[in-house]
Structure 1
Amino acid sequence: MYRKLELPLDILSSLEKNVFNFKYKDNFINVNLTEFLHRLEDDSISFIDIISDFYYAQAVYELSTGEEVQNKNKSLEIISKNRDKYDKLLTFIRFYYLELIECAKELKIEFSKVIDRYTRYLEHDISGRYTRQLDYMTSVKYNCYKSDGGLSIRCAFLHKVVQYQIPFSSDSNLYENIADFTNYLITSIQYSPNNINKFQHLVIILKLLLYGNESVPLGRSSSLEIDEFNVLHQKFQEELSSISESQLKYVTPAISDEFGKIINRENFAQELHTKGINKNKKFNCYAVAYDVTTKYYAINYFDKNNKLHKKFQKLLGNEYIPAKITNDVRYYLQDKRRYITYEQFEAIKLTKDFNRMFSCCERKLFAKFRDDNKLDGEMNLIVTKKPCEYCSRELDVIENKGSLKINLKVPTQGIEQGQGLRHKDIEKHDTEAKKILGK
């Protein structure tokens, strides 16, 4: 019987349909996978970089302005811990989808080769022999079993076989800590040059997250038809959509047992999280400023691409005014007397390496205060990173003038001052500012 052969699953097409849902109060936004992962050219920043900072700052704002909360310091500590978990989860999501996209490109090519090879046999495959062979080849097969010193894993897919060993110190229950198991799989993906092998590991990770120990039973062969991956992937999406801003509040939301247990473990994707933070999150910052009549927000990026602002303005509703780069944003020199404006900087047309001189949340907010004539009284400022050298200079200038008091709220732990600014960067930027001033 002749069977028309097609790709079992066009994963790339499936991924393009992925939509992430985010909620704040009564406002919702949908973010597709491209928007979720894509970095803006001028800033190397994306939506996924900012969203956990957004929820953190808004949670602190609500804690600061709401009804009296018993033990506010304890509540802030909980917010910080939940933020770290959420940030870790987002880092994992980015890793998973970027790797899956790369794998999908090669899978499409490999599937085409297999289908071409079997088509001429299937036309006369009365007994179904070649159909069964094809079904076998296009399923991911894996086996986990105890061995000396740990756990051995063997995966096979499209004639590609990989076998490796994971050391475990405890013989009582090798699956006692699935987060560790996941970390080993992630590490193997990071260092593997073979996308077929990577896909095998991505499948196992997904099954572990969704179904725990039972998904990869010890000593028994398991397999996953490639079409089933779509079902797994849909389940993953459903779990992710259940995590909203409540994750950043005082109570962690109820999500499915296995998924919730794993992602909330301190060591979940720890190595990946650390690398992701060090590589991608040096300059991420989101800030909220407010007084008795007005609320502002700012994002640490260069603002030329308005896509991020459109998303966050929709999420915030009409309550907040965006503070973007304007001609009056200032860069103070070390003496805290002389400064250049963004208008002067823009006239020089420097490379994007110098954008850091004007991208900070705080100084965009200070310029907005001047523009709105809010130079007296008090202003509250919540930031997700401690002010860098450039923002600290202008904060000192404002404090010394004495007419505007800024009540600054910054994270109590985990975030160091500077946000990746090195001494040589500061020297380079100061030198350029002096050139612009002609001094």
Structure 2
Amino acid sequence: MERKEDKPIIKLKEKLDSPWIFYSHENAEEGVKVDKELILDKELDFISIIVDFYTSEALHKNASGYLNESIDNEIIREVSDNYAKLSSLKLFYQNELSDILENREFLYNDVLDFWQFVDLFHFAKEFELEVLFYGYRKLKVREDIYERYLSQNEKLILKLAILNIIFLRILYRNTDRINDIFFEEIINLEDYPWKYLFEISTGILSKLDNDKRRTESGLFCLNTVDLNRIGTVFAKYDMASLYFDEITKLKLEKFEKNKINCYASVRKNNIIYMTLNGVKDDSIKVNGVDRSNLQKVVDILAQLLGGDVEYVSISPDTRYYINPDLYINYSQYKNSNENLNRMFTCCERKLIAKMYTLKFGDDEKIELLVTKYPCKICLRTIDYVNNKEGAKLKIEIIDPLEMEFKLSEQDIIEMDKCAEKIDKNHPREQEE
């Protein structure tokens, strides 16, 4: 027989195991479902990709006259930055709840009465956020933070209470409202008062999902009023911004700030050409047969875009320029067995190589949509394409919102030397 006290846990577990849903203007009702397994793929870093995707597409609509009035890119930046934090907060919260649920058998080892529970709750509620972060970190490494020894049962309840209070303070600035959320409901519970903590967790997840959905639809639809309203709504996430690094530290693992997962796209003849950074994508196509998580991501982005979409993978003629008169292509690089993939991973040069295979009219421009300013080796390529005598293709970078993660001068020198070596030892079969 199902135990009555298990129902809040069952409901929360179902929510934790359910797919994330992402929205665009075209599919604002049903959205696109993304399995939890894909979200948790650390190598892929789906959240980084999806944030870049929404931001790039907002830039496109802003630059291409989607609206009669132009939207200040600072608004797009603000909404995009908060969206990134919101998505990361949701992922952290879900992971912590999943860890707590894995140990929930401790909750039934002994039963706390109502006043014992309230005692633990008050302990968590009365402190400032900095103290709660410290206490939560201590509980994660299984240390005591209370004035007396805590059982496993009490530690688990206190950990969940602190986690919920941290997120309630991020979502609601009104502390009286937080008190109401806790006490108006639990005062009438007959047994296991801690179970209401799981109901609060379900509510927090729903709140995070609702704000995430509004932001995605607003960015994709790019409505000035909506974006301004979302910007105002996100003022309450100032607390999240302020404590984002603290929440990151609670992961108890090194945060790889230098990792880049970027998205870029161009439009030509009503076709959207999109790509992700990296070179291990030669088998990837929209709705392709590849079974990798990368293929799944590409199909998800294509669904969100709608219309005619083509994924641009690394091509043999993707180029690395040393100077306007000297370059090597990816085919030469692969034949050389060198190990400097960073020379060819950038989205910009993959898309430029694709554009060279298409027909262009006189002085035709393409708008290359990226959220980070191109690195030096990409700028070389763009400058060469734009300034080449007799060239029809012109590339315009649409107002990047951030500086790109800079390559060091030493990195560039090393890549240039490698390219010169490849050019000497593995020359192109014919002039291109």
TM-score, normalised by the number of residues in structure 1 = 0.70
2:330 aligns with one of 317, 342, 357: 342
Does structure 1 retain, via aligned residues, the 8 Å contact 2:12–2:201?
no
More helix by share: 2
SS in 1 for 2:307: coil
Return the alpha-carbon distance in structure 1 between the equivalents of residues 300 and 198 of structure 2: 28
User: 1:272: Cα distance to partner?
Assistant: 4.8
Structure 1 residue 227 and structure 2 residue 195: aligned? Answer: yes
The structure-2 alpha-carbon separation of the partners of 1:68 and 1:22, relative to structure 1 and needing over 3 Å to count, comes to closer
The structure-2 alpha-carbon separation of the partners of 1:77 and 1:210, relative to structure 1 and needing over 3 Å to count, comes to closer
User: 1:307: Cα distance to partner?
Assistant: 2.1
For residues 340-379 of structure 1, what are the structure 2 equivalents within 5 Å? 340-349=328-337, 354-374=340-360, 377-379=364-366
Structure 1 residue 194 and structure 2 residue 141: aligned? Answer: yes
The structure-2 alpha-carbon separation of the partners of 1:7 and 1:274, relative to structure 1 and needing over 3 Å to count, comes to closer
User: 1:184: Cα distance to partner?
Assistant: 6.1
The structure-2 alpha-carbon separation of the partners of 1:66 and 1:164, relative to structure 1 and needing over 3 Å to count, comes to same
Paired residues in the alignment total 372
Return the alpha-carbon distance in structure 1 between the equivalents of residues 94 and 10 of structure 2: 15
- Residue of structure 2 equivalent to 1:214: 176
For residues 408-427 of structure 1, what are the structure 2 equivalents within 5 Å? 408-412=397-401, 415-417=402-404, 419-427=405-413
**Higher mean C-alpha displacement, 320-329 vs 279-288:** 279-288
SS in 1 for 2:80: helix
For residues 136-285 of structure 1, what are the structure 2 equivalents within 5 Å? 141-143=120-122, 154-155=123-124, 166=128, 181=129, 185-186=132-133, 189=136, 193-194=140-141, 196=156, 198-210=159-171, 212-214=174-176, 216-217=178-179, 225-239=193-207, 240-241=209-210, 242-248=213-219, 249=222, 250=224, 251-252=226-227, 262-263=236-237, 267-272=241-246, 279-280=256-257, 282-285=259-262
1:84 aligns with one of 59, 81, 84: 81
Does structure 1 retain, via aligned residues, the 8 Å contact 2:83–2:215?
no
Return the alpha-carbon distance in structure 2 between the equivalents of residues 33 and 88 of structure 1: 18
- Residue of structure 1 equivalent to 2:90: 93
The structure-2 alpha-carbon separation of the partners of 1:274 and 1:337, relative to structure 1 and needing over 3 Å to count, comes to farther
1:32 aligns with one of 32, 35, 43: 35
Return the alpha-carbon distance in structure 2 between the equivalents of residues 136 and 34 of structure 1: 40
User: 1:362: Cα distance to partner?
Assistant: 0.5
Return the alpha-carbon distance in structure 1 between the equivalents of residues 101 and 62 of structure 2: 44
- Residue of structure 1 equivalent to 2:57: 58
Does structure 2 retain, via aligned residues, the 8 Å contact 1:383–1:409?
yes
- Residue of structure 1 equivalent to 2:369: 382
Counterpart residue identity of residue 376, structure 2 = E
For residues 269-348 of structure 1, what are the structure 2 equivalents within 5 Å? 269-272=243-246, 279-280=256-257, 282-291=259-268, 293-304=270-281, 305-333=294-322, 335-348=323-336
Does structure 2 retain, via aligned residues, the 8 Å contact 1:332–1:393?
yes
Q: Which runs of 5+ in 1 are unaligned?
A: 119-131, 144-153, 156-162, 167-180
The structure-2 alpha-carbon separation of the partners of 1:185 and 1:92, relative to structure 1 and needing over 3 Å to count, comes to farther
Report Cα offsets for 1:280-301 as digits up to 9, x if no partner.
4642322221245443222223
Return the alpha-carbon distance in structure 2 between the equivalents of residues 5 and 83 of structure 1: 40
Report Cα offsets for 1:182-218 as digits up to 9, x if no partner.
x764565457643646544212123334554135549
Does structure 1 retain, via aligned residues, the 8 Å contact 2:23–2:217?
no
SS in 2 for 1:279: coil
Report Cα offsets for 1:134-153 as digits up to 9, x if no partner.
7888899321xxxxxxxxxx
Return the alpha-carbon distance in structure 2 between the equivalents of residues 14 and 221 of structure 1: 25
Return the alpha-carbon distance in structure 1 between the equivalents of residues 205 and 228 of structure 2: 16
Return the alpha-carbon distance in structure 2 between the equivalents of residues 421 and 278 of structure 1: 19
- Residue of structure 2 equivalent to 1:438: 424
- Residue of structure 1 equivalent to 2:20: 20
2:381 aligns with one of 367, 375, 394: 394
Does structure 2 retain, via aligned residues, the 8 Å contact 1:246–1:253?
no
The structure-2 alpha-carbon separation of the partners of 1:375 and 1:300, relative to structure 1 and needing over 3 Å to count, comes to farther
SS in 1 for 2:396: strand
More strand by share: 1
